[in-house]
Amino acid sequence: MSGWETETVSVEIVVPDDWHVHFRDDEMLAAVAPFTARGFHRALVMPNLVPPITNTTTAAAYRDRILASVGPDARGDFTPLMGLYLNDDLDVDDLLAGHRDGIVFAVKYYPAGATTNSEAGGASLAGYRSALEVMAGVGIPLLVHAESTDPEVDIFDREAAFLEAELAPICDEVPELKVTVEHVSTRAGLDFVRGHTGVAGSITPHHLTCDRSDLLANGLRPHLYCKPVINSREERLALVAAATSGDPRFFFGTDSAPHPLSDKESVSAKPGIFSAPHALEVVAELFYQRGALDRLEAFVSLNGAAHYGLEASAEVVRLERAVGEGVEGATTILSADGSEVRIFGVDAGRRWSRLSRRCC
């Protein structure tokens, strides 16, 4: 197709937010944070460090480390929004104080053992009912890794199982709670969001553009292994339809999650995909291919901010698609301690350029 392209395609959108990102810490934080800070107005930062971020003091310290790591090219208005890890160490009074002081933005629930650094997670969401009621009363959002850890449940069905068994009762019993189903990966997740008031869903670039054949056919590709796992083609196409529809309940969250090559190319690969450098371009290419560039801004820049009751950025960025194959780019990054990390979406990154910003 590229050989027949003769006209430049471009689109202007409000500077986007990333509503789900993992920065890790130390040398890895320093290596990956600048990519997000250059391209996004806000980043909702996940708290699954070791040890996890469970109180206001550690959240404030982590935010300071993030801001110290973003580099000289960061956007002037880049804002990390901090989440606390919902487990038995969470103190509700501290949570309320942190939220009141503008340090804590949201609370994240991980089922214990579901994904990277989730060992400190909960055995049951229902066990935190009293904290969730307090959160609902003051408008603190609940972010949910919606994945059953029951070994009897097939890995491709674990999102649906968690939603039915754990999240549905909470949504019914605490209807004022603002909930985000993170990284929706199935039609069950889409239907759950559509069926519950106050519930929204973030969708990742990799769940929109890859399916399990990409992961498993023609050789195992561990760099596409994530949690929840990318699912079937049918599930992916349903996600694409939702994302490109303009439905305000769905929005962009990269779930960018770096791991060194040694942890990906191993006997037991860790789940996570590092997409921060080209996540926006991956989604722009998808929307272009679907003839939906006019709805890109809603998905990446507007819907998430509206769900969380925030104003969108006051600036605009122009995305331009190259004629032909575009410019070559790096396929990995290297942290100061020598950890090499594979970048997702390099082909789309070669296709699209982010050009001059201007005020709205």
What's the pLDDT at 358?
A: 61
Q: What is the pLDDT of residue 355?
A: 85
Going by their DSSP bridges, the two strands 332-334 and 250-252 should be labelled as unpaired
Give this prediction's pTM.
0.96
Residue 336 · residue 27 · CB < 8 Å: yes
Query: Quick check: helix, strand or coil at residue 164?
Result: helix
pLDDT, position 326: 66
Dihedral class, residue 102 (left if φ above 0, else alpha if ψ from -120 to 50, else beta): left
Per the annotation, the verdict on 25 as an active-site residue is: no
Q: In the chain, how many domains are there?
A: 1
Distance between CA atoms of residues 14 and 296, nearest Å: 10
**Are residues 9 and 326 in contact, defined by beta-carbon separation less than 8 angstroms?**
no
Has residue 129 been placed in a domain?
A: yes
- Three-state SS at 25: coil
Exposure on the CB side of residue 222, measured as CA atoms within 13 A: 16
Please report the pLDDT score of residue 2 as a whole number: 40
- Structural domain span for residue 29: 17-312
Stated as kind and residue range, the H or E segment containing 33 is helix 26-39
Whether 244 is covered by a domain: the verdict is yes
Rounded-to-integer distance, Cα 72 and Cα 63, Å: 17
Q: Are 319 and 11 in contact (CB under 8 A)?
A: yes
pLDDT at 8: 84
Residue in 150, 42, 36 with CA at minimum distance from that of residue 106:
42
Establish if 301 belongs to a structural domain. Answer: yes
CATH code for the domain in which residue 235 is found: 3.20.20.140
351 in a structural domain? no
pLDDT of amino acid 300:
98
Average per-residue pLDDT for the chain: 95
- CA-wise closest residue to 210 among 221, 199, 201, 195: 221
At 38-81, the pLDDT tens digits run: 999 999 999 999 999 999 999 999 999 999 999 999 999 999 99
pLDDT of residue 1: 36
The residue ranges of the chain whose pLDDT is under 50 are: 1-4
Residue 312 CA to residue 265 CA, distance in Å, equals 39
The CA-atom distances, in angstroms, between 318 and each of 31, 205, 298, 315, 321 are: 25, 19, 15, 10, 10
Q: Find, among 202, 183, 190, 205, the residue nearest to 303 by Cα.
A: 202
* 125 touches 114 (CB < 8 A): no
pLDDT given for residue 311 in this prediction: 98
* C-alpha distances out from residue 174 to 92, 107, 250, 262, Å: 17, 15, 21, 43
Is 86 part of a structural domain of the chain? yes
* Amino acid residing at 45: V
Contacts of residue 186, defined as CB under 8 A and 6 or more positions apart, other chains included, come to 156, 159, 160, 228, 231, 235, 238
User: Does residue 347 belong to any structural domain of this protein?
Assistant: no
**Catalytic: which of 255, 263, 337, 347?**
255
Determine, yes or no, domain membership for 324.
Answer: no
Q: Could you tell me if residue 111 is inside a domain?
A: yes
